[in-house]
Amino acid sequence: MTKKDKTADDPMGQVSEMMAQWQKMGLGAMNNMGAGWMEAMSDMGSEWLHFVSERVAKDVDFQHKLLHAKSPQDIQKIQSEFFQAAVDDYANETGKMVQLSRKVFEPDKDDG
């Protein structure tokens, strides 16, 4: 029988262990980043996951449309629309991520 890891069922223990590992790797300064930094990073992660989930749904819809295409012209139209929408989506998401990254890397200007 194996010994159960004490942090396996304890999220706070996992975070504490992760922070200790960061410090060992020379990233101890991350502890001093503060709540604003953590919130900004969380916002970026949340935005990215939302974007990816939307793109996956659009990819599935694209495959569905291709399977039901009736002619080569339909396939060409479906592909063209899909790729144009993907380019637009990625361009828009890049802009959102740049805006969110400013909150991570620039001090809050409202705290004057």
- Count of the separate structural domains present in the chain: 1
Which of 42, 20, 98, 12 has the alpha carbon at shortest distance from 30? 20
The pTM (predicted TM-score) of the whole model is 0.61
- Assess if residue 10 is contained within a domain: no
Does position 102 have pLDDT exceeding 70, yes or no?
Answer: yes
- Assess if residue 57 is contained within a domain: yes
Phi, psi dihedrals of residue 31, rounded to the nearest 5°? -65, -25
- Per-residue model confidence (pLDDT) at position 112: 42
- Assess if residue 23 is contained within a domain: no
- Assess if residue 98 is contained within a domain: yes
- Per-residue model confidence (pLDDT) at position 53: 95
- Assess if residue 101 is contained within a domain: yes
Q: How many residues does the chain have?
A: 112
The per-residue pLDDT of the chain, averaged, comes to 82
Which of 83, 108, 99 has the alpha carbon at shortest distance from 44? 99
- Residue 103's domain spans which residues? 50-107
Q: What is the mean pLDDT of residues 103-109?
A: 66
- Give the separation between CA 110 and CA 112, rounded to whole angstroms: 6
For residues 76 and 21, the model is more confident at: 76
- Assess if residue 36 is contained within a domain: no
- Assess if residue 44 is contained within a domain: no
Interval 4-55: pLDDT, tens? 555 567 777 887 787 777 777 766 555 556 777 778 888 888 999 999 999 9
- Assess if residue 84 is contained within a domain: yes
